[in-house]
Amino acid sequence: MSDLAPWLEVVLRAVAVLAAFLVLPLLVGQTEHKVMAHMQGRLGPMYAGGFHGWAQLVADGVKFVQKEDITPARADRWVFRLAPFVALIPYLVALAVIPLSPRVVGADVDASVVLVLAVIGVGVIGTLMAGWASANKYSLLGAMRAAAQLVSYELPMVLAVASVALAAGSLSLVSIAEAWNPWWLLWQLPGAVVFLVAALAELQRPPFDMPLADSEIVFGAFTEYTGLRFAFFLLAEYAGIVVMSLLFAVLYLGGWAGPFEQWLGWVWTVLKGFLVAVVVIWLRVSWPRMREDQLQRLAWVWLVPMALVQLALTAVGVVVFS
């Protein structure tokens, strides 16, 4: 790639990241359609595209484009219209710095772990904006729940990631994945559990979907959204799953570690990430939604102490073995 002109390289990398950003969430979405359906004894979409409904999400996209773009009369217009993009773009940035292999990475940043965590937190601001600008009490309730959830779960997540960074002695995702060895599966297990749970909560995925809770508060912050803007929120959710799954694969599963990693490294990363995404879907299908107070309790009483214990364990391990 270094042979190319700098501007061309930038464009190519941006296009590649954008393509991944548009394709991978759809793959996860389709997987969710099918896996969830079969877990519930159904078939899921079967017609769109001809073969087992593979084009269902494309058809959904076409449908969303055709729908009317409504802004409520009392809404804060600019904030309301901007919110979907604020929710969506952080995941695009995060995807750009997550390495699939040392060479296959949108942008190799030094402290990429910090960047990813910081950027993911911004996504919730989109939800908050949407809820506030909608001038709808359910939207506002959903936004408040989302914000509370973010505040609660950002801490255990950062602690868990800090533990990995400590173990690897680096803040770069590439270096962390390079430093990974299979023992980490055991050593970093509590941290991995904390990270997965916190990631689910940050993505507002079931069983942590109180901010959406359609049986309580209509659809939370997205209640007033229609058409393409609503689709962007959904895309943000699935892009979030992609980002979190890849991040989990890189941090805890060794990323591209595997046979023929010289050539197939990125395949291993994607496969591991896909496996994590399937687990995320599996958890959604299996477990009921938690109550708001249970959610807070889980974060502060269980996850934060667990993450701290992991941090101590990692520190001890680093000191003893190095």
Of residues 144 and 193, the one with the C-beta less far from other proteins = 193
Q: In terms of CB distance, is 207 or 220 closer to other proteins? A: 207
Positions in the binding site for other proteins (CB under 8 A) = 35, 37-43, 46, 282-283, 285-287, 298, 302
- Considering all CA atoms of the chain, what is the largest pairwise distance in Å, rounded to the nearest integer? 63
Smallest distance, Å, CB 231 to other proteins? 27
> What are φ and ψ of residue 254, in 5° steps?
85, 5
Alpha carbons 301 and 218: distance in angstroms, whole number: 29
If the CB atoms of residues 171 and 276 are measured against other proteins, the closer one turns out to be: 276
Give, as one character, the DSSP assignment of residue 303: I
- In angstroms, give the least distance from the CB of 318 to other proteins: 30
Q: Return the H-helix or E-strand segment holding 123.
A: helix 112-133
Structural contact between residues 112 and 172, judged by C-beta atoms closer than 8 angstroms = yes
Least separation in angstroms between CB 36 and other proteins: 9
Q: Cβ of residue 305: shortest distance to other proteins, in angstroms?
A: 13
Nearer residue to other proteins within complex by CB, 50 or 259: 50
Looking at beta carbons only, is 39 or 70 nearer to other proteins? Answer: 39
Residues 143, 211: contact at Cβ < 8 Å? yes
Q: How far is the CB of 42 from other proteins (least distance, A)?
A: 5
**Distance, CA of 132 to CA of 311 (rounded, Å):** 37
Least distance in angstroms from the C-beta of 288 to other proteins: 8
Q: Which is nearer to other proteins, 94 or 281 (CB)?
A: 281
Residues whose CB is less than 8 angstroms from the CB of residue 160 and which lie 6 or more positions away in sequence, other chains included: 191, 192, 194, 195, 198, 307, 310
Q: How many whole angstroms separate alpha carbon 161 and alpha carbon 247?
A: 10
Q: Which residues have C-beta within 8 Å of that of residue 143, sequence separation ≥ 6?
A: 127, 128, 129, 130, 131, 132, 211, 220, 221
Give 14 or 290: the residue with its C-beta nearer to other proteins: 290
Shortest reach from residue 26's CB to other proteins, in Å: 21
Which residue, 54 or 302, has its beta carbon nearer to other proteins?
Answer: 302
From the number of C-beta atoms within 10 Å of its C-beta (0-12, 13-18, 19+), residue 168 rates as: buried
Least Å from the CB of residue 44 to other proteins? 9
Minimum Å gap between C-beta 278 and other proteins is: 10
Q: What is the DSSP string of 189-242?
A: HHHHHHHHHHHHHHTT-TTS-TTT-TTTSTTGGGTT--HHHHHHHHHHHHHHHH
DSSP three-state, residue 262: helix
Nearer to other proteins, 40 or 262 (CB): 40
